[in-house]
Amino acid sequence: MKRVLLSLAIILITLSAKAQDPHFTQFFASPLTLNPAFTGYFSGDFRLSGNYRSQWSSVTSPYVTGTVAADFGIMKDRISYNDIWGVGILAMYDKTGSGALTTTYAALSTAYHKALDVDGNHTLGLGVQMALVNKRIDQTKLIFENQIGNTGFDPSLPSGESIANPSIGYMDYNVGLLYNGLIGEDANAYLGASYYHFTQPIESFLGQNNNRLSYRYTVHAGGSFPISEYNRIHLSAYHMRQNQATETALGGAIGFLVNGIPEEPTTFYVGAWYRYKDAVNPYVGLEFKNVQVGLSYDFNVSTLRAASNYRGGMELSIIYIHRRDENSRYRQHCPRF
């Protein structure tokens, strides 16, 4: 009974949020879903990233979200040495607990980062993103009132419902700004803002033309600061709003050099983030040979905790940055978390 009640609560929350966008606890490891202005802004030649999230598996069929992305710099010999022009592609998959609703998302983004000083220690970037979205409903995985009889659910009974468009698609557009700056000799901070769905495309399975996707805006910030000769603390936070749904998270991780070779570091990260009135998110990560892997878990502390037993979602991230030139621009100053 507890599992049924929690499943119903999750569905009601989803409906009241009017299809809040899927997003990640490790938002810092999914840059192209947080802000298009992150496109191309890293220390290297190209970046590959992937994210996987499974939520509510302890109480119902899990809600699963996954992404793969790639971005890289272009026109490096044509633009100012201290500027960066990036291009990126992103694919995302999202499935509700029963598999009744699936979303696929393919996006292309570009961003230009302009140096604000001669040395390129301060930059301002503008990014735009264009996406093709498809959403599908599998009616065989839905339960309607007319199919519940004296003996329980009977899928052979007619549902009495008519879904005009079980598969819908539309174009979507997003935009973002990002400032990044050096503080002193060995610290940096960044501040960004993004605005998703600014054309508010029509989204309806019932053939209506008055149901528009709510815009989503996000303000986020972070920084990296030395705490000893080889160890650093990385802090980050964001505030997000979509329709009546809001979300605020903040936290950080400390990176420890564990192999004693700063020229070819292996760094272990440990930290946590807190999502306001929702979850505590412990995090561990390991960075070695241009690869960074992160693992986090959401301990639910919201009003659902009595049913969920504080269990929420597991998340895994991986980022690979190829560096052909060890003197790559902005090697130490790009946002990391």
Secondary structure (DSSP) of 58-116: TTSSPEEEEEEEEEEE--TTTS-TT-EEEEEEEEEEEE-TTSSEEEEEEEEEEEEEEES
Q: Residues 3-18: what's their mean pLDDT?
A: 41
The model's confidence at residue 18, banded by pLDDT at 50, 70 and 90, is very low
Tokens of 82: 């201290």
> What percent of the chain has pLDDT above 90?
62
The C-alpha atoms of residue 313 and residue 93 are separated, in whole angstroms, by 16
C-alpha atoms less than 13 angstroms from C-alpha of 145 in its C-beta half-sphere:
1
DSSP 315: E
Instruction: Output the pLDDT for position 12.
Output: 40
Do the bridges between strand 187-196 and strand 245-257 make them parallel or antiparallel, or are there none, so unpaired? unpaired
Superfamily of domain 39-322: monomeric porin ompg (2.40.160.40)
Higher pLDDT, 34 or 303: 34
Higher pLDDT, 185 or 71: 71
CA distances from 47 to 31, 32, 50, 158 (A): 11, 11, 10, 50
Beta-bridged to residue 198, according to DSSP, are none
CA distances from 138 to 98, 100, 103 (A): 10, 5, 12
Q: Residues 215-239: what's their mean pLDDT?
A: 96
The C-alpha atoms of residue 86 and residue 202 are separated, in whole angstroms, by 30
> What percent of the chain has pLDDT above 70?
85
Average pLDDT value for the chain: 86
In Å, how far from its chain's centre is CA 51? 8
Q: Residues 211-219: what's their mean pLDDT?
A: 93
Instruction: Output the pLDDT for position 57.
Output: 56
- Secondary structure element (H or E) that encloses residue 178, with its range: strand 167-183
Sorted by where each begins, the domain ranges of the chain are 39-322
DSSP SS3 for 163: coil
Contacts of 54 (CB under 8 A, 6+ apart): 62, 63, 64, 313, 314, 315
Instruction: Output the pLDDT for position 165.
Output: 87
Q: Does residue 192 have a pLDDT over 90? A: yes
Instruction: Output the pLDDT for position 107.
Output: 98
DSSP SS3 for 148: strand
Q: Does residue 119 have a pLDDT over 50? A: yes
Q: Does residue 241 have a pLDDT over 70? A: yes
Q: What is the pLDDT of residues 279-307, one digit of tens each?
A: 999 999 999 989 999 999 999 887 665 55
The C-alpha atoms of residue 42 and residue 263 are separated, in whole angstroms, by 18
DSSP 23: -
Contacts of 189 (CB under 8 A, 6+ apart): 180, 181, 183, 221, 222, 223
Q: What is the pLDDT of residues 127-180, one digit of tens each?
A: 999 999 999 988 777 777 777 766 777 776 776 677 888 999 999 999 999 999
Q: Does residue 326 have a pLDDT over 90? A: no
Q: Residues 98-115: what's their mean pLDDT?
A: 93
Instruction: Output the pLDDT for position 334.
Output: 83
The C-alpha atoms of residue 133 and residue 33 are separated, in whole angstroms, by 14
The C-alpha atoms of residue 270 and residue 278 are separated, in whole angstroms, by 21
Instruction: Output the pLDDT for position 3.
Output: 40
Beta-bridged to residue 175, according to DSSP, are 128, 195
